[in-house]
Structure 1
Amino acid sequence: MGFHDRAGGPEAARAVAGRMLAALAHRGPDGTGWCRHAGVTLAHCALTFVDPPRSRQPFVSASGAVALVFNGELYNHPELRRELRSLGITPRTGGDTEVLTELYERHGTAVLSRLRGMYAFAAHDARTGATVLARDPLGKKPLYYTRIPGGIAFASELTALLRHPDAPRAPDVRALADYLVLQAFPAPGSAVAGVHKVRPGGLVRYGNGVLTEEEHWRPRIGPPPGSGPPRAREAAARFEELLRTAVARRVTSTDRPLGVLLSGGLDSSVVAALAQRLSPGAPVPTFSAGFDDPDFDESDHARAVARHLGTDHRVVRVGGAELAEVVESEYACADEPLADPSLLPTRLVCRAAREHVRGVLTGDGADELLLGYRYFQAERTIAALLRVVPAPRLAAAARIAAGALPSRSGNLPASLALRRLARGLGAAPEHRFYLASAPFPPGALAGVLTGRALAALADHRPFAEVARLLDGQPDRLGSLQRAQLAVVAHFLRDVILTKADRGGMRSALELRSPFLDLDLVEYGNSLPDALKLRGLTGKYLLRRVARPWLPRATVRRTKQGFRAPLARLLRQELRPLLLDTLAAPALERGGLFDPVAVRALTDDHLSGRRDTSRGLWALLTYQLWYEGPGRAARPARPHPLALPEEIHRAP
């Protein structure tokens, strides 16, 4: 985190930095540091994996010209260190932060194309006075910023940024509307007006009073121009090579032992298999969630994989009481509302894993990279049907079929899935996923927001980022490719990866995702759909590669999905919290949600007339955040961290 402090003295800067760092203490228990560098204060909470005694941050280059704070890991830092040595530079540390700082001083933002890892960093160059904020291509690490008098302030979490006395605090109603549709606040927006996120694959540059935004990477779907489709055998060999390298990069870049979050599904099982092969002398620690509700429980599958691989496996029991405890203890002080309920079990598993390791590998990204969601199977079927059946007739048939199916509270009832699917049948392929899964489709916002809030939504475009990423893609993208790009645009970057970072870092546990290795992602994006979705079998290439490593049943398993029993939770364990938080007086204080409409949603769900849990959950998580100690409407003043003396002498 950091801020421009040209008008203040060192003691004032130190006090503000201490307040901001206090909100980030959970991310870095290994010590704090701060420095002032030519009018910019930088500060850091450490979670160290490489050379902790000498790699303290903020880090200042040997010349003193560049100061940098860095969140994440560069998995190719040994290769980059060799480059430094070839330039005649003798590194002072064995860490990745020095490598990034020295290369940035020499190459500026051009160095971003050579980084392989997850990162968000801020660099200040005293030679030019420019401050640059950059984020990795997929957005695994968060980075917020805002304009303040005399410059900018920035932090890894919104809660920390709001500790700066000049940070804005009013809710952003247009971003709230996006959240109600997309389950998260998509970059570059945030829950607070005037606060922005650096886009994944983006950078923000501030200098001479001017702030500009640039892009250093964006996803591209489809084969390179002039290339023919590879044969399945060749593609499998190359994919396996890249996947092995991706896992090895994450395991061998640190001497600290890593675990694996093992759901029992194909993706995390493949990662566990490769991690165990890299650790032949000791079993890799693996962790899974064991739900009390059998409709959500995959722990038997995870145990079977763990036995097959020989990992040191632990099952974290997850019941209604445990899930409710996470909501009641953490959501009021959450960094920013997130309406994905799978954050609840993720927090519980990460909390338990942190008792044994400080980093874990995950299977995140495989479904988006290789068309693993059942939604992609549905999209292929829809595209075929729409060629012969008009969209209104198909939607009507889906609704009739949904009404004929029995309703149950399982992981994803077929009747509910069909109703959701019917919402998007008349929409563009890149919108259908979101319309099917939205807590509130765009057309329903008028029924839940107050008139005052709706007045701020003229020309509201929740899919603006999807449209931006589609611009410049190859001509004639198929419907499946457009759908895949859209899922990456928000669901992967703003939901899945936000959940992973927040679920782990609340316990100072780092999550590493081999399937999101940039080299692997770019290769996967270049492959034809037939090597990802063969007929209606998703992740075809991964299943082919995984056959020698895993039980046959695991390779052939249909994806179940990692979800929480939300509908039941809201009717039982969370019922008192729901009724209290969404009561009319609380909603009237905020002035954003219509109390009458929210009461109708609540009554329908609690009575069992219809399942409105997704909408209620989005409203509940937002209202808990808004009414909590970090709410946007008033500045919180936690006790500041006691910072050490400046750890570097700045120019």
Structure 2
Amino acid sequence: MCGFVGFTDRDGGGDASRATAGRMLAAVAHRGTDGSGWCHHRGVTLAHCALTFVDPERARQPFLSASGRTAVVFNGEIYNHAELRRELRASGACPRTGSDTEVLVELYERHGMGMLERLRGMYAFALHDARTGATVLARDPMGKKPLYWTRTAQGVAFASELAALLRHPDAPRTPDPRAVADYLVLQAFPAPGSAVAGVHKVRPGCYVRHERGTVTEVEHWRPVLRGGAARTPVRAAEARFTALFRSAVERRVRSTGRPLGVLLSGGLDSSAVAAVAQEVSPQGPVPTFSASFADADFDESAHALLVARHLGTEHHVVRIGGRELAEVVESEYGRADEPLADPSLLPTRIVCRAARRRVRGALTGDGADELLLGYRFFQAERAMEALLRVMPAHRVEALVGAAVRRLPQRSGNLPVRAALGQLARGLRAAPEHRFYLATAPFAPARLPALFRPEAAGALAGHDPFAEVTRVLEGRPGLTPLERSQLAVVCHFLRDVILTKTDRGGMRSALELRSPFLDLDLVEYVDSLPPGLKLRGLTGKYLLRRAAAPWLPRSTVRRTKLGFRAPLAGLLRGELRELLRDTLAPAALDRGGLFDTRAVRVLLDDHLEGRRDTSRGLWALLCFQLWSDGLSAASRTPVPSAPETLTEEMRRAV
């Protein structure tokens, strides 16, 4: 993978422009350790750092089209680039490289942005078209790669990460209270918003075009649940699903000559990926990597080892205790790209760091739960539909509440008491809101009391579910389960899971690839009736059928555990002092957003064991560490460019 930055630059790419590009690129140098480059292209400065997989010598970026009219910086990989290159040759083009970057830019010159329909892969890119003066910023349909932008005095500036964009002299730097409110409900900042007022993300499946001072957004892909024919034969669906899944894994394994690993949790999804990768890998046994937690409630390493032995992979176990998790928070969260309250980023980061010592890229099982209804929440949603058909909501709430009170209090990995409590909180909500209300660090109704009065005033009329509503507009006839699924895909998968995946890998320059999010596979699964995904209360039904010949029976039939960190104990133990210091009244006063008394109640209740408030505390801690880091960065000089930048870029800095 790679990192890139750029900005409208009418000064002709002089020393000041090169210095700005160098400072911005230094903030994303971890994304690409194979060298860097920059260019000024007729009014736009572009810079790029590379982690190369395809034709590294001849595909250096920024890359110019054969005509010289279009320049591009690109992060990702186009898995069908060989097929598209053959089409270019048939149309009379003479490709100069074997790279997917060249395919991208030459397709653009022939088909414009219509070429996005032909791409199969993960990408974020920025291109400048000298014929029109337009700068175009685009993301793939699932949003696997990040891309931020903001308006500047001369036009726009953009970057792969927020931290890089904030090094542009015209970039705003003030946190957005309304976006922070979204984050405290949704665990991440949903596109197109960001943590900083005036900075935007390109939405997944969209591109943003800046031309002659005007910015327009075009949506080129949106998830659509078509429901399928009610009588879709199970065996036919299984055969088609299996073929598309195998093709998705093979595309990712064979698109590069470099060996890839697999992040193997021991659950069904990553185990199925490992099974096919092991079969199609041309380099021998596939390296697999799993986490082993000191806390037994979170440890799946025995299941991963069972799968690794069954498949014959080259297995590596990464042992993770509280000290290792705390070290990531202490060393990295103050300079994080943007706050993310998903605690599974911690073990993901540690496993990726270990994997990078042996491979440059790895496959993951991300996407299966969202697309194939694998979460316990979807089972609960189906059960809820049945209950609400026969009794009113207040009766169901009473039944669930009684069950919760009878169960012991635990802080393990999604204990039954917590799951039932989450379910009860969302019973009266719209189906598309229930998942988020069940997992929210803070319910929307609690936010005004959490913010200081002057900040809370900005939240009047604010709706954290606005982006969910947008995605569901014009979708009549969807069942509650389908509305829930689309809502989970549009934010939780794209903005939480894939942000975690990108950040966890790219901090170590490790490329992560997600076969379940192959566009052909996604569109096929979206066309199927829910009964082929969730059969009764059994999620991922088609995947279980497909994987049965590849994996141990116990793996195929396992209930999902989930890849999480032991957050409650971590905040009471290894992170206790950091938590107290970061959320102390003096520290919160500097930020000016949160009410110190409300935060103090959360702290005391958790640290003294009265109730588990770890979700809310974690969200506040992640934000406050980032905010403190942002303030500190504004008071200190920008550091020199690291050794991964070319000598010319370092001199510019």
Q: Matched residues in 2 for 1:523 and 1:3: separation?
A: 38
In the alignment, does 2:374 pair up with 1:372? yes
Deviation at 1:399, TM superposition (A): 2.0
Alpha-carbon distance in 1 for matches of 2:199, 2:327: 30
Q: 1:629 to 1:466 in 2, by over 3 A?
A: closer
1:283 is aligned, of 262, 282, 285, to 285
Verify the 8 A CA contact 1:180 1:618 in the aligned structure 2: yes
Deviation of 1:634 after TM superposition, in Å, equals 5.7
Gaps of 5+ in 2: none
Show the 5 A alignment for 1:392-431.
392-431=394-433
1:157 aligns with 2:161: yes
Deviations 1:22-59 (A, max 9, x none): 00010000000000001100000100001101110000
Residue 641 of structure 1 deviates from its aligned partner by 5.6
CA 1:166 to 1:502, structure 2 compared with 1: closer, same or farther past 3 Å?
same
Report the CA distance between 1:107 and its aligned residue.
1.0
Amino acid at match of 1:120: A
Partner of 2:95: 91
Matched, 1:434 2:455: no
Look up the equivalent residue of 1:612 and give its one-letter code. T
Pair 1:199-2:203 in alignment: yes
Letter in 2 for 1:356: R
Contact 2:268 2:558 in 1 (8 A): yes
Query: What is the alpha-carbon distance in structure 2 between the residues aligned to residue 83 and residue 602 of structure 1?
Result: 61
Give the C-alpha shift of residue 293 in structure 1: 0.5
Mapped to 2, the partners of 1:645 and 1:318 lie a distance apart of 38
User: Which residue is equivalent to 1:303?
Assistant: 305
Q: Answer yes or no: is the 8 Å Cα contact 2:13–2:40 preserved in 1.
A: no
Distance in 1 of aligned mates of 2:270 and 2:538: 18
Distance apart, 1:133 and its partner CA: 0.3
Compare 256-265 and 444-453 and name the one that shifted more.
444-453
Out of 212, 216, 222, the residue aligned to residue 212 of structure 1 is 216
Q: What amino acid is the match of 2:291?
A: A
Equivalent of 2:468 in 448, 466, 469: 466
CA distance in 1, matches of 2:633, 2:486: 32
Does structure 1 retain, via aligned residues, the 8 Å contact 2:13–2:45?
A: no
Q: Which residue of 2 aligns with 1:477?
A: 478
What residue in structure 2 maps to residue 359 of structure 1? Answer: 361
Give the Cα separation in 2 of the matches to 1:279 and 1:2: 37
Tell me which of 439, 447, 450 is aligned to 1:448: 450
8 A contact 2:9–2:43 mirrored in 1:
yes
CA deviations 1:284-333 (Å, max 9, x no partner) are: 00000000010000000000000000000000001000000000000000
Aligned to 1:232: 234
- Cα distance, 1:409 vs structure 2: 2.0
Structure 1: gaps of 5 or more residues: none
Is the partner of 2:455 in helix, strand or coil?
helix
Aligned to 1:121: 125
Take 1:395 and 1:618, find their aligned partners in 2: how far apart are those partners?
A: 27
Letter of the 1:194 counterpart? G
- Residue 579 of structure 2 corresponds to 578
Question: Once the two structures are aligned, what percentage of the paired residues are identical?
Answer: 73
CA distance in 2, matches of 1:246, 1:630: 43
Match of 2:151 in 1: 147
TM-aligned CA deviation for residue 150 of structure 1 = 1.5
Distance in 1 of aligned mates of 2:542 and 2:488: 20
Paired residue type of 2:60:
R
Mapping of 1:162-173 within 5 angstroms? 162-173=166-177
State which of 250, 269, 292 in structure 1 corresponds to 2:294: 292
- Pick closer, same or farther for the CA change 1:53–1:4 going to 2, 3 Å: same
CA deviation string 1:67-123 (max 9, x = no partner): 000000110000111011011111111110000011111111000011000000001
Q: Is the 8 A contact 1:67 1:123 kept in 2?
A: yes
Residue 7 of structure 1: how far off its partner (Å): 3.7
- Is the Cα contact below 8 Å between 1:21 and 1:641 reproduced in 2? no
> Which of 251-260 and 415-424 deviates more?
415-424
Q: Does structure 2 retain, via aligned residues, the 8 Å contact 1:145–1:197?
A: yes
CA separation of 1:52/1:280 partners in 2, compared to 1, >3 Å: closer, same or farther?
closer
Offset, 1:222 = 2.1
Residue 594 of structure 2: aligned partner: 593
Structure 1 counterpart of 2:8:
4
Tell me which amino acid in the other structure corresponds to 2:336. Answer: A
Q: Which residue of 1 aligns with 2:557?
A: 556
CA 1:327/1:641 → structure 2, altered by over 3 Å: closer, same or farther?
A: closer
Opposite residue 583 of structure 1, the aligned amino acid is A
Would the aligned equivalents of 1:159 and 1:630 in 2 still touch at CA under 8 Å? no
Amino acid at match of 1:545: A
Does the 8 Å CA contact 1:223/1:229 hold for their aligned counterparts? no
Counterparts of 1:524 and 1:279, CA distance in 2: 25
Q: Which amino acid aligns with 1:34?
A: W
Matching residue of 1:60: 64
Counterparts of 2:12 and 2:189, CA distance in 1: 33
Name the amino acid aligned to 2:219: E
Q: What number of residue pairs does the alignment pair up?
A: 644
Give 3-state SS (helix, strand or coil) of 2:296's partner: coil
Kept in 2, the 8 Å contact 1:34–1:646? The answer is no
Matched with 1:617 is 618
Contact 1:35 1:646 in 2 (8 A): no
SS class of match (1:360): strand
SS in 2 for 1:169: coil
1:130 counterpart residue number: 134
Deviation at 1:630, TM superposition (A): 6.6
Deviations 1:348-367 (A, max 9, x none): 00000000000000000000
Residues 636 and 274 of structure 1: is their aligned pair in 2 closer, same or farther, counting only changes over 3 Å?
farther
The residue type paired with residue 637 of structure 1 is V
2:315 aligned residue (297, 313, 322) = 313
User: Separation in 2 of the partners of 1:6 and 1:645?
Assistant: 25
Compared with structure 1, are the counterparts of its residues 394 and 590 closer, same or farther at alpha carbon in structure 2 (3 Å cutoff)? same
Tell me the C-alpha RMSD between the 2 structures. Answer: 1.4
Equivalent positions of 1:523-562 (< 5 A) are 523-562=524-563
Residues 228 and 559 of structure 1: is their aligned pair in 2 closer, same or farther, counting only changes over 3 Å? closer
- Provide TM-score, normalisation by structure 1: 0.97
Give TM-score, length-normalised by structure 2: 0.97
